[in-house]
Amino acid sequence: MLFPTVQFAIFFVVVFLGHWLLSPHPKPWRWFILAASYFFYGFWDWRFTGLLAGSTLINQFFAVRIHAARSPRARRGYLIGAIAANLGVLGFFKYHGFLLTSVVATLDKVGISLDARPLEVILPVGISFFTFQAMSYVIDVFRERLRPARWLDFAVYLSFFPQLVAGPIVRGGEFLPQMERPRDPRRIDASRGFYLIMIGLAKKIVIADFLASHIVDRVFASPGLHSGPEALFAIYAYAIQIYADFSAYSDIAIGIALLMGLKFPENFNAPYTAVSITDFWRRWHMTLSRWLRDYLYIPLGGNQRGRLLTYRNLMLTMLLGGLWHGAAWRFVIWGGLHGLWLALERLVVEGRRARGKAPLPDAWWRRSLQRVGTFHLVCFAWVFFRADSLGTAWTVLGRLFTGWGEGATLLTPAVLVAIAVGLAAQYVPRPAVNHLLIGFSRLRPAVQGLALAFTLMIIDALGPEGVAAFIYFQF
């Protein structure tokens, strides 16, 4: 069930009314939200609701056992069991084909022929997201940062429909306490909720889907048939598309949660204004960045075990982060590039510090150059992320050095404007947005409704026909 559809609108109206009617009654409210969330997830394929239920039962079992265990050895054993169970399920559905074909290809190069074919397994929507949420919950219980929730509470937390299939990754400590607090419909931040939903719809329909259909999909489908300028701007367009698409889902999910009196963590903060790759990862998919930091980078040793091990930990974290996005070498390369750049940035900073040099002074021209350089490094890595194979990625990059005398029919004014708007919107200062929200909140409800209806009409008129699935549904 896609957010920008009539089916979801009807679904949410029913859930919204039921949510507020049942809020004074905690247990019926929990069962209602759980049923609604399973209906939402089962709308894609009802068979995978069993997988979600199984993940709930397994992780809650291990969390309860970890909390009840007395000896550190037993606690660690239960934790290992939980991690193995989660990674085993994720590995079967997402990675078994990739691993099998990689092993077969490697053996074939040394003269060993192995006739093995991967199983035809459908990738469940959202499995990476709810698996990471479940793992964070169990690990936080192990670290004694969180007590095990009641079974029903944990089931609601893991399946809560707004962020279930594409994030943001919400931790138990961020969500579970909110279930215990009374929610007052008169105190919800409706203005911000509606703003996030509308801006998310605009990003998805007007920017992301438009760029995908008018340049990105065409160039990456057959890069050899397109000119150098078209290849260059297709790369820029994909950078805007994936940001607009993914941040749109997060915006809508956060907005829906706000209308229900719940708060989710922010997931994007103008990532293409970053002045370094380190800064980029503080702004891009921030809930995943924090997850990788807290549950992978720091347990590996972080930056506490010497310079070389710090670089190793950065590279391993980003390689595994790339593999989390998809079972293909191109995702591993994407993650490896970011790991390499993070390590090089740290090397430069530590080198200056070791030589007794102060950080470079801040200046607008230096920030501008850093932003341009960072954006192009990110765009270069996006080529491997978007291409359907390494061969396609190299062909797209190769077209940047050829075909500049050919035509560029895909570079229409509308495409260029969409790219420009996608970039410029990230430089809109937050105080201006907050001022707009305050003004909107002071309008009469009837005027607010008319403004929202007019905005929907504009979005529908500007967007292409139909709505494509969100990019991160496949991860």
Judge if 159 and 247 occupy the same domain: no
Question: 264 and 221 in one domain?
Answer: yes
Do 129 and 74 sit in the same domain of this protein?
A: yes
146 and 53 in one domain?
yes
Q: Which amino acid is at 283?
A: R
Closest by CA position to 217, among listed 466, 376, 396? 396
Q: Is residue 473 part of a domain?
A: no
CB hemisphere CA count around 80 (13 angstroms): 6
Within-domain flag for 11: yes
Asked if residue 1 is part of any domain, the answer here is no
**Residues 404 and 434 occupy one common structural domain:** yes
Domain boundary among 166, 186, 206: 186
Q: Are residues 180 and 226 in the same domain?
A: no
Catalytic residue among 19, 325, 338, 376: 325
In a domain, residue 261? The reply is yes
Q: Confirm whether 475 is domain-assigned.
A: no
Residues 153 and 200 in one domain: no
pLDDT of residue 13: 94
Q: What is the pLDDT along the chain (475 residues), one digit of tens a residue?
A: 688 888 999 999 999 999 999 999 999 999 999 999 999 999 888 888 999 999 999 999 999 999 999 899 999 999 999 999 999 998 888 887 777 777 767 777 777 776 667 667 777 888 989 999 999 999 999 999 999 999 999 999 999 999 888 879 999 999 999 998 888 888 888 889 999 999 999 999 999 999 999 999 999 999 999 999 999 999 999 999 999 999 999 999 999 999 999 999 999 999 999 999 999 999 999 999 999 999 999 999 988 888 889 999 999 999 999 998 888 899 999 999 999 999 999 998 888 887 888 777 888 889 999 999 999 999 999 999 999 999 999 999 999 998 787 788 999 999 999 999 999 999 998 888 888 888 888 888 888 889 888 988 888 888 777 777 787 766 6
Single-letter code of the amino acid located at 463: G
DSSP string, 158-188: HH-GGGTTT-----HHHHHHHHHS---GGGS
| 150 and 217 inside one domain | no
Q: Which of 140, 159, 186 is the last residue before a domain boundary?
A: 186
* C-alpha dihedral (376, 381, 386, 392), degrees to nearest 10: 100
Same-domain check for residues 175 and 302 = no
List the structure tokens of 36: 């609604």
Tell me: do 235 and 333 sit in the same domain: yes
For the question of residue 325 being annotated catalytic, the response is yes
Return the pLDDT at 118. 65
Specify whether 228 is located in the same domain as 148: no
Going by C-alpha positions, the residue among 144, 134, 143 that lies closest to residue 175 is 134
Query: Do 427 and 357 fall into the same domain?
Result: yes
Structural domain contains residue 468:
no
Domain boundary among the residues 149, 169, 186 is at 186
- Please list, residue by residue across 248-262, b when 16 or more beta carbons sit within 10 angstroms of its beta carbon and e when fewer do: bbbbbbbbbbbbbbb
Residue-level pLDDT at 176: 95
What domain range includes position 386? Answer: 190-462
Comparing C-alpha atoms, which of 337, 255, 291, 243 is closest to residue 137? 291
How many domains is the chain built from? 2
Q: Is residue 23 part of a domain?
A: yes
DSSP-assigned letters across all residues of 125-156? TTHHHHHHHHHHHHHHHHTTSSPPPPHHHHHH
Q: What is the pTM of this model?
A: 0.92
Q: Is residue 220 part of a domain?
A: yes
Dist CA 103 CA 118 (whole Å): 11
